[in-house]
Amino acid sequence: MIRTIREGDRWRLQTAAIALEQPQTGKRVLLLSMIHIGRPDYYARLAALVEEHPGTVLFEGVGELSPEEQAALPEEERRVYAGLASLNAGYRRIAAALGLVAQPDAMPKPRPGWVRADLPVRELLRRWVAGRLPLVPLMDQAGQALESALARRVTRLLLLQEPWILSVFRLVKGISPNLGRLTGLLVDERNAAALATFDTLAGPAAQDVLITYGAGHVPGLLAGFRTRGYRVRHQDWYTAHEERIPYTDLLDRAAPIFAQRGSKGAGSGE
């Protein structure tokens, strides 16, 4: 879950921590929706939720390969891996340029007892190549394009549009076959792997589970939990990014005027 809200001239990009419960068993799930870059205090608050969680922690991540393992990959898989590996470095450069931080540097590293709930990287690469999916563009130059103040400002404003961008992405994937197949692997099949891992939990380990995943995955994960009988009990929102957009607070002052004119127009049409 992800949203952008406005309070006066302050616009806030927020993600949700969603508390679910299975009424018949009393089992609980806390689903943390995440984004790749954000404010340090955003990650600090989410990190505290993870570190203080008394139960099982499931986390997103396909894993990494050593240089020797990379060298042993078939050429096509090696090219796919290079594109994926450039993403985190790209996010770090963008975050640094915007005065933000990247998720891998701000969230706790996996600990003994935590469970990876994702496709293994070798399986992801195999499916990628078998499906003849397009390569991820290398992000080696990410951050260099943000050297000007104007570019940084535009990018910070674009971050506020992430909920809308994700909505458009879900719409377009039904139109573009290549994008649809790529989304199927990167989102749907990884969600299926996460839920399959969740289903293996038993006994006390299954009683109180926290799972962290990217915001784009959360609608599918929520649907999966609902089919398992879980219901949303409450959700809390955390601000990942905030921008002041001057004069947008005037919208609050103008709204009653437009509402009054609209009601008059409706009345005159009767």
> Tell me, what's the pLDDT at 269?
47
Nearest 5°: phi and psi at 45?
-70, -40
Do the Cβ atoms of 230 and 22 come closer than 8 Å? yes
- Identify the CA nearest to 35 among candidates 187, 211, 217: 217
Alpha-helical segments (H) within the chain: 40-52, 67-71, 75-98, 103-106, 121-130, 149-159, 162-172, 177-183, 190-200, 218-227, 250-268
Cα-based angle 58, 61, 65 (whole degrees, multiple of 5): 135
Distance CA 137, CA 135 (A): 6
Element housing 126 (H / E): helix 121-130
The length of the chain in residues reads 270
pLDDT per position as a tens digit, 244-262: 877 666 666 655 654 555 5
Do the Cβ atoms of 209 and 198 come closer than 8 Å? yes
pLDDT per position as a tens digit, 175-218: 667 678 888 899 999 999 999 999 999 999 999 999 999 999 99
Per the DSSP assignment, residues forming a β-bridge with 238 are 15
> Tell me, what's the pLDDT at 20?
97
Q: Which residues contact 102 (CB under 8 A, 6 or more apart)?
A: 36, 37, 88, 91, 92, 94, 95
Low-confidence spans in the chain with pLDDT less than 70 = 137-148, 150, 152, 156, 165, 168-176, 178, 247-270
What pTM, to 2 d.p., does this model score? 0.83
> Tell me, what's the pLDDT at 200?
96
> Tell me, what's the pLDDT at 141?
55
- Identify the CA nearest to 47 among candidates 95, 99, 100, 107: 107
